[in-house]
Chains A and B, each alone.
Chain A
């Protein structure tokens, strides 16, 4: 699972309420994605292009069980990498088919607009501008399989627990 794309850089402690704000609780999925980071970076969601990559600092996704990962995926991001990722956000990223990688040191390796190449299984992140590479903890095969299937809902449909 290799991904190449343009990078957006965020800092430490980017919490779920910033990714999936309370204002997005009672609107349609189409409206929800416009509200991603509306409190800390208004206007950002309209700048994202399909295949972009999000890079962040420590404790990305700290906070709620609300599935921020699904909004990031629907917004068009290809994947994300952070110095560290909250365990619940990490599980949500797998459940919703959005690849996420923990790679300590990654946040200081990129400037916004750089191109990155990421190998999700190997756990390697390369800055294509500087040539610098770091190795984090790659996805296990079973988690990569859930992501490749399109997330848990697709699995439940396939196994007959849910109607299509």
Chain B
């Protein structure tokens, strides 16, 4: 019986020839990463009492949610993080100045790579699946377990295969729209893996795949994995990877369901408040809805091409008076590249606020929270009640083109009017 990509990676890391859905395995983990909230939030795990970790070189620690520290508590968390990496000899530490949102940094720094089994203390860890890795989030206690023992348990889940065909019909339609369409039409994938295939994958940029894989956390997917194709191989070579240990699905792999999607038929999509599965619609259904803030950023859509697209839409125009347009790059690297390319200048000239690279307002942390009665159209990952501020605020989710076009008009707007298609 053939195996899916998820099954092959789990089998490889459990040291067994084959696995199937339902099996419970103990697997060696390749990379285990935690961000600042692991150290800042009390009552999660007594990390100061840990005296031995398995392999410091497999550990990554970084600051992303609250950088530079917006509160003294956050600053204290960072102090503890620095002490922890020093005590345990963890060299892969990314402090303020080298920082970036965890899922972007794991890709930029080469930790997320094909065939790897990756653990991180954050729910959107499935993002690394865009690199052909099996990655999932763990809570703080289990992250500590992985750091101490180098391994943990996995249950092999059934897999849904999305076969993608064709290519996006407009520049205004991107990976986030594909995800919101999937979540809106098919709903959740709770206790399932999601894998992507079909020739349409080759027509999606790497950042678009990262956006989709990231967002699969919102349909409760376990792993979300893209195949390793020529485009990814080129990306990895440019990154400097010496070896590429990709996994392909077997032709006779067993899937829970196979679903075909024609990328060419997709249109800009929006998720309504306060959850995503079966709660999304074409942007045309909510066009004209008044908004108070627009946010482009996060591990879903804070990458260079997202910022470039937003800049191209607002170039030479002005953000509407009733709207705050906030742009938060996903990492220092993205920030610098956007700066050099002139995108940040274009955005600021149009009236946008460009912030430091951070999780920022995405999790309701800092730099762009909402007051009562306010509505934000955002490219971030979550639209939960009170996620971005006041309990009486609302978040709708979209792709960068829809966000930028809506920033210009001050209401939810179909970006195709601005980009054609």
State in angstroms the CA–CA spacing of A22 and B153 once bound together: 29
> Are the C-beta atoms of A18 and B139 separated by less than 8 Å?
no
Cβ of B363 under 8 Å from chain A: yes
Offer 30 A-B interface pairs, CB within 8 angstroms, sorted by A: A13-B274, A16-B123, A17-B382, A22-B363, A22-B387, A25-B41, A39-B391, A58-B190, A62-B220, A64-B122, A65-B121, A65-B123, A66-B139, A67-B139, A70-B141, A84-B190, A86-B190, A87-B136, A88-B136, A88-B139, A91-B138, A91-B142, A92-B142, A96-B141, A152-B142, A153-B45, A156-B50, A156-B145, A162-B50, A162-B51
- Complex interface: chain A residues within 8 A of B46 (CB): 153, 162
Cβ of B148 under 8 Å from chain A: yes
A59-B188, A87-B190 are contacts. A22–B365 as well, Cβ < 8 Å? Answer: yes
Which of A27-35, A109-117, A127-135 interfaces with chain B?
A27-35
Q: Please list the residues of chain B having a beta carbon within 8 angstroms of any beta carbon in chain A.
A: 24, 37, 40-46, 49-52, 71, 73-74, 121-123, 136-142, 144-145, 148-149, 153, 157, 188, 190-191, 218, 220, 222, 274-275, 277, 363-365, 382, 384-387, 391
- Complex interface: chain B residues within 8 A of A108 (CB): none
- Complex interface: chain B residues within 8 A of A27 (CB): 42
Give how many A-B residue pairs fall within 8 Å (CB-CB).
144
Closest to A95 in B: B141
Contacting residue for B384 out of A63, A74, A86, CB 8 A: A63
- Complex interface: chain A residues within 8 A of B121 (CB): 65
State in angstroms the CA–CA spacing of A164 and B48 once bound together: 11
Q: Please list the residues of chain A having a beta carbon within 8 angstroms of any beta carbon in chain B.
A: 13, 15-18, 21-22, 24-29, 32, 39-40, 58-59, 62-67, 69-70, 74, 84-88, 91-92, 95-96, 102, 140, 142, 151-153, 155-157, 160-164
A65-B121, A92-B142 are contacts. A28–B42 as well, Cβ < 8 Å? Answer: yes
Given A25-B37, A85-B190, A92-B142, 13 other A-B contacts at CB below 8 A? A18-B384, A22-B386, A28-B42, A63-B382, A66-B41, A67-B140, A84-B188, A87-B190, A88-B137, A96-B141, A142-B24, A153-B45, A164-B49
State in angstroms the CA–CA spacing of A15 and B217 once bound together: 12
> Are the C-beta atoms of B43 and A40 separated by less than 8 Å?
no
Contacting residue for B141 out of A40, A62, A86, A153, CB 8 A: A153
> Are the C-beta atoms of B385 and A87 separated by less than 8 Å?
no
- Complex interface: chain B residues within 8 A of A63 (CB): 123, 382, 384
> Are the C-beta atoms of B42 and A15 separated by less than 8 Å?
no
